A and B are shown apart, each in its own frame.
Chain A
């Protein structure tokens, strides 16, 4: 691979300082960029994607500490080195806390600068190597699950495809009784495929693969979309499915695909276990640190002695023989795993004959203190 020349960004309000740093660095065969204040500096961090940022702590406007913080937000792998004439232990400690890699007190000799830059760039190289190894490892793991998924599903898919062709009458008419049995066989096969899907979801969640990067998401948007998608499910039981009150702030830190799965599961259950002409009401509330989503149904409810176990894998509330069992018994446990992987929690309250309320708590999305 072609090695790119490292780029050093020098942010300092003193022109003489910027010039002398650049001269030294250019002689080392490095590329340089300069900025005369913090906000221009941050623009250049975004634009030029430097390997290392040299930043003066005392500057008018956006100061060095802020530059450190924002640089880490833009790209945590950029190495930052602080330069300042006010070298005190306190400011050094604070800078390190804000993510600075090293500290260079003014005045410094060209050699001191060279050593610190060289060390910083070595660190940068290691960080990038670690990052790419991590990505590669993840790719291998993902590929493994993809392969397993493929191997398990392929034969079932082929059988299913034959059924579809036969049922569709594309290879001749199928007599009534035979068609009925093929339909039953297809339904069992469909359950088996759902089970495999759910089981693979569990495998991926357990290996921590699903929650990759959390970003701010609007829960209202996700839930509105799900309500539209699920409208057809409500037809059979004449169930009303609606989004009730919504707090102004509905942003959470989340992964869209998996959170959609959580609410899709809760809403499907709320419809499926409802009474005819029942109601499913979803509300979004806000408290200090969390956004809470309530999914409330007017269904059959869950008895007290079952409640503690409903999030367990394969746990099923036993009902009459005639009750058709749908689903895999993994849905709620998957929902719980996903929510917990987000740092949130899921709760249930229920009354037999009256209905259940499932509440999902998720961290608010705007600020990112969770990593501290």
Chain B
């Protein structure tokens, strides 16, 4: 293991996706922590203090990824984490899945720092993570 590589929290309800994405992140020497729903994600944010969060949009409900993102970016209880980069990962594509519905600004929600469609291309995923972590 390299020195001090960043810790990434993956919040996704699909166990196969979590299993598949973990080796990608580990190949870039990140530490990976997983959570299988928004609730568990909340706990892990406080206990693990991740450097970046990969967040699925649709888990138990259509919007829970969005609500969690908004909460992290704006609520007082998450103050410590408001600058933690968040990347949305979703299987719903722009054209087919009415991503426009999720345009957070229109519903007064604060959106993520980046957005990646599933399946994620390993190189693309790593590049985007690196970029956000460098900031």
Q: Name A residues whose Cβ lies closer than 8 Å to a Cβ of B.
A: 139, 142-143, 145-147, 149-150, 153-154, 157-165, 168, 170-171, 196-197, 200-201, 204, 257, 261
Contacts and interface: CB of A to CB of B under 8 A. Distances in A.
26 contacts: A142-B98, A143-B62, A146-B58, A146-B92, A149-B93, A149-B96, A153-B92, A153-B93, A157-B118, A157-B119, A158-B16, A160-B118, A161-B16, A161-B20, A161-B118, A161-B120, A163-B119, A164-B20, A164-B119, A165-B23, A165-B24, A168-B122, A170-B27, A170-B122, A197-B93, A204-B98
A154 B95 contact: no
Contacts of A197: 93, 95-96
A161 B101 CA distance: 25
Contacts of B95: 197, 201, 257, 261
A146 B100 CA distance: 11
A150 B97 CA distance: 8
Given A149-B92, A154-B91, A157-B17, 18 more contacts: A142-B101, A145-B96, A146-B101, A149-B91, A150-B58, A150-B91, A150-B97, A158-B16, A159-B16, A160-B119, A161-B21, A162-B16, A163-B119, A164-B122, A165-B20, A165-B23, A201-B96, A261-B95
Interface of B: 14, 16-17, 19-21, 23-24, 26-27, 58, 62, 91-98, 100-101, 118-122
Nearest to A169: B27
Contacts of B21: 161
A157 B91 contact: yes
Contacts of A147: 62
A286 to B, nearest CB: 29
Contacts of A171: 23
A160 B117 CA distance: 12
Contact of A150 (B23, B26, B92, B100): B92
A164 B121 contact: yes
A166 to B, nearest CB: 9
A318 B118 CA distance: 33
- Shortest 5 CB-CB contacts between residues of A and residues of B: A158-B16, A161-B20, A160-B119, A200-B96, A157-B118
Contacts of A157: 17, 91, 118-119
B40 to A, nearest CB: 19
Contacts, number: 86
Contacts of B100: 257
Contacts of B27: 168, 170
Given A153-B91, A154-B91, A161-B120, A170 B23 contact: yes
A165 B16 CA distance: 12
A243 B97 CA distance: 31
A153 B119 CA distance: 10
Q: Which of A154, A160, A168 has the most CB of B within 10 A?
A: A154
B26 to A, nearest CB: 8
Q: Which of A146, A161, A196 has the most CB of B within 10 A?
A: A161
A183 to B, nearest CB: 14
A165 B14 CA distance: 16
Contacts of A145: 96-98
Given A157-B118, A161-B118, A168 B92 contact: no
A197 B117 CA distance: 13
A147 B62 CA distance: 8
Nearest to B21: A161
A132 to B, nearest CB: 15
B62 to A, nearest CB: 6
A165 B125 CA distance: 12
A158 B23 contact: no
A257 B120 CA distance: 23
A32 to B, nearest CB: 30
Contact of A168 (B14, B24, B58, B94): B24
Nearest to B101: A142
A266 to B, nearest CB: 16
A298 to B, nearest CB: 29
A168 B21 CA distance: 12
Nearest to A196: B96
Given A164-B20, A171-B23, A158 B98 contact: no
Contacts of B118: 153, 157, 160-161
A196 B92 CA distance: 11
